[in-house]
Amino acid sequence: MTLQLRNEFIFAPIKLGYSDATGIITEKHLDFYRRRSKHIGAVTLEPLYMEPGLRELSTQLGIDNNNKLDGLKKMTNIIHSDGAKVISHLNHPGRMANPKIPGNYFWSSTDRACENEGAIPEKMNREMMEKVTNLFVESAKRAVVADFDLIELQLGHGYLLAQFISPAVNKRDDEYGGNFENRIRFPLEVAKAVREAI
């Protein structure tokens, strides 16, 4: 599938913190993106949390349940009406989830502490990987229902999928650690599952 953009300018995701504890779209979101979508090719929404225990901000926008879809559709409709495309930015923070937010949990490729916040993550087993894959898949399905044009999976900046890719973090000795082919295996499995689902 080819997606045509009216120009090469794509607005990058920014953590706005304009929501509330429920993670819903607010008028402040709508105003912010309305002002930025008039002349660019595409808008990437802020990182969307896929489960309440994975927030980076207590006021982060979510895509964790169907109750969020009406607000997200309102957002995509506004951006589309200005002629821009909309990109969802799905992110699992892994060990970089905010430890100051009650209920957050920390998973990673290994149990190496996060340098930023000091949280010590739980080393993921196969069952955890399947749960994370399912979170990405279900969130991507919701993004399609909410009329997003593209789905971006966060593989950089030290978040969960990057925690598998990085040899500095990933010290596993199974098929998900060691050489690059093994370290990229889980992110590719997630991407494949998302593509097959949508």
Write the pLDDT tens digit of every residue in 21-42.
999 999 999 999 999 999 999 9
Residues 3-20: tens digit of each pLDDT: 899 999 999 999 999 999
* 185 domain-assigned: yes
Could you list the residue range(s) of the whole structural domain that residue 191 is in? 10-96+107-197
* 65 domain-assigned: yes
- The CATH number linked to 158 is 3.20.20.70
Q: What is the mean pLDDT of the chain?
A: 95
Number of domains forming the structure of the chain: 1
Q: Which of 176, 5, 171 is nearest to 79 (CA)?
A: 5
* 101 domain-assigned: no
* 102 domain-assigned: no
pTM above 0.85, yes or no: yes
Q: What tokens were used for 94?
A: 């892994």
The arithmetic mean of pLDDT across residues 66-92, rounded, is 96
